[in-house]
Chain A
């Protein structure tokens, strides 16, 4: 019988990361879609960096930044009691940064594609920007929201480099499925490596398939 804790840990991490990304990603995408501040290109670049940067680079810098020897790491630990290196909390922070573009990009382009007149109509009806966002813009970009949520979730499941650098391989704490697979292969336990791999393969396939079906309108739209 295999140890289920890496699988459960993986989904727990993906779930928490996705929830946090929804909270962070929507305001960020809104800002990038509609404002014209000067440093916008810089922020857009930073958000997109995890797409091209080797995960180990990101993991390495986060490791340095969060380590108790660094200013930031000490401050976090003294003021908030966060130990972000080799801990589950550290994994969450790293995953949020790593999956940020997968949440922000779809929402940003979704918002930018809503006809301008809808936003203006809401403003001229006396509604604040927040009301406009919640009641008019977001309900009209449901496919983009769903894409962002699912891609962030799936991408977090698939993390390896960042997790290895900042989380290590601590059972029940940072030993997620992708790490467990690597570990089992190293120990020549191909059977359990295969089991973990198959579970990840099946789950991510089903999730992505669901997104494509929904966005192509093949599933009943009413449940959305």
Chain B
């Protein structure tokens, strides 16, 4: 169980921004913090880990106070039982996979957890390799295992999968779920990926400009505005061609160009470079599974 109530002035992309969050996270839940870049997501994780000092507020984990500005309590990162996984893995380049895990092992703790973790991340054959020689997904599995060696009370994941390609990301999501089920750790994940949120999160906190403006189960939070029977896609007009009675408008969406038929009425006021909204009904699109 985590109770946080924090404030901190951050230097955001648009000048100073006040981060003020209050949240309650149940024991064993996997929650997601979601929001635009610069909303303060990473700062929340860093304050929980003790790497960034809040200006005021409290952090209590399983009824132990980690930070309290009034009582002047600020536990060092070493004293907090936190597992942290970075986007850039942060594996020690001077140690092999196994040594990275061994380094994390406190002297008082038996070593069998190392073999257990290496089994779980399925890197038995690679345990004597240097981290640089592994793929991104493999490195992130090592980083995840290393974060678990000390049996932390909280697992913090800062966009751990965003540097991986699509296929690897899906695999890693399965790993995260497996690890989560095995150890039942209270986990906070920062991510931009909608699929990840729906697959992993029990609860989601929507962060905007340093405030939590919505929270709940993913389908509750996103259902009302973003998910409906209509598809709304934004794009940019590249070209408008006249074609007898109708117009063909080429629109750039992401990195794809699609053609949309427009009537003379709709074409009015459209010019190249305009931002447009394309709406389609739910019974129109064809859905197909992509085989990797």
Contacts and interface: CB of A to CB of B under 8 A. Distances in A.
A117 to B, nearest CB: 4
A128 B77 CA distance: 10
A117 B88 contact: yes
Main secondary structure of the interface of A (DSSP, over half): helix
B92 A123 contact: no
Interface stretch (A53-61, A132-140, A183-191): A132-140
A115 interface: yes
A118 B51 CA distance: 12
B84 A120 contact: yes
B72 interface: no
Interface in B68-114: 76-78, 80, 82-84, 86, 88, 90, 92-94, 103-104, 106
A126 B90 contact: no
Contact of A120 (B51, B106, B146): B51
Contact of B78 (A127, A136, A140): A127
Nearest to A121: B90
Contacts of A124: 49, 51, 77-78, 80, 82-84
A122 B149 CA distance: 13
Contacts of A118: 90, 92
Given A125-B150, A136-B94, A117 B49 contact: no
Interface string A139-160: 1100000000000000000000
B92 A136 contact: yes
A123 B94 contact: no
Interface string B43-55: 0000001010000
A203 to B, nearest CB: 31
Contacts of B83: 124
A123 B146 CA distance: 13
Nearest to A117: B90
A117 B94 contact: no
Nearest to A126: B78
Given A120-B77, A128-B78, A136-B92, 5 more contacts: A117-B86, A123-B77, A125-B104, A126-B78, A135-B103
21 contacts: A115-B90, A117-B88, A120-B49, A120-B84, A121-B146, A122-B92, A123-B51, A123-B76, A123-B77, A123-B78, A124-B49, A124-B51, A124-B77, A125-B103, A125-B146, A125-B149, A126-B78, A128-B78, A135-B103, A139-B94, A140-B92
Interface of A: 115, 117-118, 120-128, 135-136, 139-140
Interface of B: 49, 51, 76-78, 80, 82-84, 86, 88, 90, 92-94, 103-104, 106, 146, 149-150
